[in-house]
Amino acid sequence: MVASLSNAEWGEQYNAIKTYVGNREGKGPKLSILRGFFNWLARTDGEGAGLLPDELIEFQIRKRGEAYESRRPNVEFYVPGLVRDYIRSNPSWRVKYKKTIASTIHAFFKANCIELPRNGEVVRAAKHSKKRRVNKDKWITIKGLEKLRSMIDGNTNLMYKTAMLCMLSSGMGMDEIVEWSNQGIETTRKALEKGIHGKPIIKIYLSARKDLDESRDFHTYVFTSDAIDSLREWIKERDARKERWEKRNKGKRFEDRARGALFLSNHNTPLKSSAFSAYFLYRAKELGIIEEKEGADRSTRYGFSPHIIRNFFKSWFWKSPAPDWIADAMMGHIVDNNDYMKLFNDDRYILEQLEKTGPFLNILSSPTPFDQVNEAMVEEKLKQRDVEIKKLQRLVAQLQKLKIDDVITRVEREYEAGIAEMMDEIKKLKGSMGNLTENLGILQDAVNFAKYKAANEEERRRRT
């Protein structure tokens, strides 16, 4: 009869369960975990075997009283020991699910005002895993680097190649890559054209990781030449894909399907983290980095995902001369719990430090083998670069100064020549005016003389 009850009906029988569940969201999985725990408890032997939820609460209250009266604190850890044994009872459970079981049972007791003491063995049991699938530590070695290089280099899928290079450049995880992609292709295009302080570097603003509050939102940078070059190629490919698609589907908009996302699947839909993880696993199997399991299907877990690129990013960033905390800040980790340190907002300083990591993270184009890169080499290259920059700055200053002086001199000369020419014209005009006035006087005299002569001739004829 009891077995036929649903989880909700089963929980309604016990006040302790109703007190815990209340109006909580997602109560179904919590009831399933608690019911599984009490079903297991009914099959065990020992002092707490077969206890129901209300009875187990009373049992723990008595144990706490006994621990206080007898001054034997170990008595209080009896129920946490049961939780530990239950977690270890099924070795096929994933680590994340084991942690969920432990937190749910602890929350059940806390809601009933009898919080369980924290038992280190319960935590270790939740983290316990008999079989270690992949030794991720080996990825910080040169061989690990070569495997990662082989996964990225020669990749026929330009979109995934670009996404992996951008992860390696910025420390982003799958969720951050998808969030950045969904911010839109135009946002990235403008950021790439604008750059930062004249350098082809993209600054990306992202939401806080692991459900932290908005005050923990962070930003990171895509700065390596490998990532920037690949990103430019992918944007060209995406534009060409858009043109081809709209020719085949006249009257339809490509961006309605792509939703303006930066990274697109083969079906021209926005990239999803599940697809990214599946492709990463497929590529690793293709290159023989991991072996296919017998009878494996889509649900088979290998403990291998793109998250391993974040491990590589941080490990090799720490090998570079740049400060370690910059890598943590770029990955979205909390660098300063009190939030006093604001240096990560100084783009100019951060970019100066990021240049030191170039030989370590440009795994496709770096001319120096990674096992030979050291801090002295990076510092020497930076000094040489600074010397060249100073030479160029002096040359530009000299050219600018010469150019300005030449312009001023030329303008002054032209002005003076213009003034002199204008004065000559004025003198000529004045001379012409004088001549004209003189000629007018002579002309008037001639007219008067002609009039006088004509009058004399008339008078002489009359007399004659």
Residue 234 confidence (pLDDT): 92
Q: Check: CB of residue 279 under 8 Å from CB of residue 305.
A: no
Element (H, E) at 222: strand 218-222
Q: Which two tokens stand for residue 458?
A: 């008339």
Q: Check: CB of residue 268 under 8 Å from CB of residue 99.
A: no
CA angle 92, 96, 100 (to 5 degrees): 105
Residue 333 confidence (pLDDT): 87
* pLDDT tens series, the chain, 464 aa: 445 788 888 888 888 888 888 766 557 788 888 888 888 888 887 777 888 888 888 888 887 776 666 555 555 566 777 888 888 888 888 888 888 888 888 888 888 887 777 654 444 445 544 444 445 445 555 566 777 788 887 767 889 999 999 998 998 988 899 999 999 889 888 988 888 888 888 999 888 776 566 667 888 988 888 899 999 999 999 999 999 998 998 888 888 888 889 999 888 889 988 888 888 888 888 888 777 777 666 656 666 778 888 888 888 888 888 888 998 889 888 888 777 888 888 888 988 888 888 778 888 876 554 445 555 655 666 677 677 777 777 777 776 766 556 666 666 677 677 777 777 777 777 677 767 677 677 777 777 777 777 778 777 777 77
Q: Which two tokens stand for residue 350?
A: 């951060």
Residue 296 confidence (pLDDT): 63
Residue 77 confidence (pLDDT): 64
The maximal CA–CA distance of the chain, rounded, in angstroms, is 177
Give the span between the Cα atoms of 122 and 128, in whole angstroms: 10
Sign, Cα dihedral of 133, 139, 143, 147: positive
Q: Check: CB of residue 176 under 8 Å from CB of residue 332.
A: yes
Q: Check: CB of residue 110 under 8 Å from CB of residue 79.
A: no
For 189-212, letters b (16+ CB in 10 Å) and e give bebbeeebeeebbbbbebeebeee
Q: Check: CB of residue 292 under 8 Å from CB of residue 184.
A: no
* Residue labelled with tokens 């007018």: 440
Q: Check: CB of residue 105 under 8 Å from CB of residue 38.
A: no
Which residues have CB under 8 Å from 83's CB, separation 6+?
Answer: 37, 101, 102, 105, 106, 116, 119, 122
Could you write out the DSSP letters of every residue in 359-392? HHH-TTT-SS-GGG--HHHHHHHHHHHHHHHHHH
Give the span between the Cα atoms of 34 and 102, in whole angstroms: 10
- Of the candidates 151, 136, 92, the residue with the CA atom closest to the CA atom of residue 312: 136
- Residue 186: CA count within 13 A, CB half-sphere: 4
Residue 378 confidence (pLDDT): 59
Residue 237 confidence (pLDDT): 92
The DSSP code for 93 is S
Q: Which two tokens stand for residue 28?
A: 């179904």
